[in-house]
Amino acid sequence: MDGSHPPSWRIAGFALSAAGAMLFAIKGVLIKLIYRYDIDTTSLLAMRMVLAVPVFALVGAQRWQRLQRDARPDARTFGLAMLVGIVGYYISSWLDFQGLQTLDAQIERLILFTYPFLVILFGRLLLGHPLRVHAVLGAGLSYVGLFVMFAGEPTRLGTAALIGGAFVAVAAVTFALYQLFARELILRCGATLFTAIAMTAAGITALLGFFVTHPVAALVPPTGAWALIAALAVFATIVPAFLMSAGTARIGAQGTAIVSTISPVVTIGVAIVVLGEPFGWPEAIGTICVLGGVGLFSLIESRPRSYQTGEEGPA
């Protein structure tokens, strides 16, 4: 950021981003625990949004009222924010949730974490942005790490696990597209209002998809799952979304991306302790490669330049 803010401003930004990244990191573990109650992907996503949408809608309405009339986004910007939110927060989340049906939480997080490279690739293909050497090298190192994790554990080469990995990989693609097209909209709307619009639109779409395919009674989860679903909605959706937005406002998108490298580490630790997922040499090598590739890429990208990608870490 500029020099008009004291050092404590940036320190707070790093703290907010780190807290948001750590909360986002527990999402996969919570979903794996909820799936033990035999809840399908569409129902779980709808349950999550039933609790989250009112909060995002309220925050968005309050933010809208505080803006001067001429500072409010026009109808086209508002509609594009909704569309981008549906892609990044509904389609991407559904694919991610579906992949977690058969994929370990720690691998899910590492696959999703490769999205910055996809942002660069799509930026090159769709917008003509330069394709930098360090992005290619970082991507190669990360994907080598994922290959080691799959190849080093024979059970992960089964059809179910590979399909789960494919769902999460496509989720990373859709989230990368969201990141690519959201930046300009965030500049127009502001991070808080954009997040509220995008998440509200995604939530309403998730609920519409549920009501088209499920009876209303399916929206009521088993008694034991309520606490986990509430935790998913509040502590792995609402709170980290605004923490990451606040952090990004202070330290920028690239600073947030660097801090977010803590996310997979937290996911792996919690998945091992809570879910009993394995962690041997394939997981260790794979994690080092993915974090090394993304970390190196983020550090180089954070140098001053004319183009930056992304605003928040993957939800």
Q: What is the pLDDT of residues 162-174, one digit of tens each?
A: 999 999 999 999 9
Q: What is the mean pLDDT of residues 41-65?
A: 94
Residue that is written with structure tokens 């639109």 in the block: 201
Domain boundaries, the chain: 8-301
Q: What is the pLDDT of residue 1?
A: 44
Q: pLDDT confidence of 254, banded at 50, 70, 90? A: low
Q: What is the mean pLDDT of residues 105-127?
A: 85
The DSSP secondary structure of 174-187, one letter per residue, reads: HHHHHHHHHHHHHH
List, for residues 263-290, the tens digit of each pLDDT value: 888 898 999 999 998 888 888 888 888 8
* 263: CB partners within 8 A, 6+ apart: 21, 22, 24, 25, 109, 113, 313
Question: In the numeric block, which tokens belong to residue 52?
Answer: 């989250």
Q: Which of 10-19, 53-62, 100-109, 244-253 has the lowest mean pLDDT?
A: 244-253
Q: What is the pLDDT of residue 307?
A: 40
3-state SS, residue 306:
coil
3-state SS, residue 308:
coil
pLDDT exceeds 60 at position 219:
yes
Q: Which of 12-26, 59-73, 192-206, 285-299 has the lowest mean pLDDT?
A: 285-299
Q: What is the mean pLDDT of residues 90-98?
A: 96
Q: Integer distance in angstroms from the first to the last C-alpha of the chain? A: 24
What is the b/e burial string over 246-271, where b = at least 16 CB atoms within 10 angstroms of the residue's CB?
Answer: bbbbbbbbbbbbbbbbbbbbbbbebb
Q: How far apart are CA 3 and CA 293, in angstroms?
A: 31
Q: What is the pLDDT of residue 66?
A: 92
Q: How far apart are CA 225 and CA 30, in angstroms?
A: 10
Q: What is the pLDDT of residue 228?
A: 96
Q: What is the pLDDT of residue 9?
A: 79
Q: pLDDT confidence of 252, banded at 50, 70, 90? A: low
pLDDT exceeds 50 at position 308:
no
* Higher per-residue pLDDT: 84 or 309: 84
Q: What is the pLDDT of residue 41?
A: 95
Q: What is the pLDDT of residue 174?
A: 94
